[in-house]
């Protein structure tokens, strides 16, 4: 009987993307490495629990859920999240940042200073710059200032991020242009908290780290995993939680968050046997007869 694995997510290390597994095993991924797996036939996706604790109900969850949690576990996890303002007294210093994911996609956000750029890699930010650093609530007020005054969002759907990766500008200067403009407007705003220390504009580009330079354009994304389905392909790029895999019909994007909660076994074939949604790409990027 084939060994069963349970994925606990994709992490970013100094060496690149790493798939992690229940039990502590880690799989360092490199460009050209084959990623191949199958969802156990007859399997049911189960809630992964919250805050390191298993779901007491062992509840089933939808194959399209990126959180892989039931309603109750999602509520508990969110209640202890900085993103949801569930921790107002965190004593750690926080960075405020501007991140760019593609043409027209700029967001503002915060991350603990001790985490460095990890949060930006996890979100799939193509480039970013710090705005300033200070106490949590000062960082929060600065984030809200940019949202209100400049209408910069604090969230961008992953579907939008994926759809524009095939049309990124070629140079780092072009990719940094939009956050440079927003940064200039932000530093001219009044009302910044006194406890937040501004930082100079220093764009950091992740195209090389993500393997996107010269990578073939992705033509679709896996919508969900299903029992008995499989996927096998060579890793050509990765960004945030996404793996760009060169499968027999073309490059397809797999959001690794969809893997959580399933029992996975070695793939029996190299076909894409999961539902795939095609991207609406410009005519120059479209191909026929795929998937």
pTM of the entire predicted model: 0.89
* d(C-alpha 75, C-alpha 49), whole Å: 11
| Environment class of 191 (CB within 10 Å of its CB; exposed 0-12, middle 13-18, buried 19+) | exposed
Q: 243 near 259, Cβ under 8 Å?
A: no
What average pLDDT score do residues 4-33 get?
93
* Percent of residues, the chain, with pLDDT higher than 90: 76
Spatial neighbors of 241 by CB under 8 A, at least 6 apart, are: 9, 10, 66, 122, 124, 158, 255, 256, 257
pLDDT band at 85 (very low <50, low <70, confident <90, very high): low
At 286 the pLDDT is: 35
Kindly give the pairing relationship between strand 220-222 and strand 7-13. unpaired
Q: Is the pLDDT of residue 285 over 50?
A: no
* d(C-alpha 151, C-alpha 47), whole Å: 35
Q: Is the pLDDT of residue 287 over 70?
A: no
Kindly give the pairing relationship between strand 127-134 and strand 94-102. antiparallel
pLDDT band at 172 (very low <50, low <70, confident <90, very high): very high
Which tokens go with 58? 């062992």
Q: 231 near 254, Cβ under 8 Å?
A: yes
Spatial neighbors of 285 by CB under 8 A, at least 6 apart, are: 166, 167, 217, 219
């Amino acid at each position: 009987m084939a060994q069963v694995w349970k994925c606990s997510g994709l992490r970013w290390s100094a060496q690149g993307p790493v798939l992690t597994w229940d039990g502590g095993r880690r799989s360092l991924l490199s460009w050209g490495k084959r990623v191949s797996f199958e969802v156990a036939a007859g399997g049911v996706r189960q809630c992964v629990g919250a805050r390191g604790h298993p779901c007491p109900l062992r509840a089933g969850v939808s194959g399209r859920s990126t959180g892989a949690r039931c309603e109750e576990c999602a509520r508990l996890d969110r209640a202890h999240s900085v993103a949801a303002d569930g921790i107002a007294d965190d004593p750690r210093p926080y960075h405020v940042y501007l991140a760019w994911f593609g043409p027209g996609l700029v967001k503002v956000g915060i991350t603990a200073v001790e985490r460095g750029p990890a949060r930006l890699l996890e979100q799939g930010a193509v480039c970013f710059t710090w705005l300033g650093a200070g106490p949590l609530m000062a960082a929060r007020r600065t984030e809200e200032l940019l949202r209100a005054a400049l209408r910069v969002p604090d969230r961008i759907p992953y579907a939008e991020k994926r759809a524009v990766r095939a049309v990124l500008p070629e140079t780092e200067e072009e990719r940094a242009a939009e956050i440079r403009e927003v940064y200039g407007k932000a530093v001219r705003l009044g009302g910044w908290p006194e406890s937040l220390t501004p930082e100079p504009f220093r764009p950091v580009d992740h195209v090389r780290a993500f393997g996107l330079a010269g990578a073939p354009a992705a033509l679709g994304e896996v919508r969900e995993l299903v029992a008995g389905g499989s996927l096998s392909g060579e890793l050509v790029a990765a960004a945030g939680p996404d793996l760009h895999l060169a499968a027999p019909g073309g490059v397809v994007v797999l959001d690794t968050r969809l893997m959580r909660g399933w029992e996975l076994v070695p793939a029996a074939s190299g076909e894409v046997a999961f539902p795939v949604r095609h991207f609406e790409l410009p005519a120059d990027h479209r191909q026929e007869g795929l998937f």
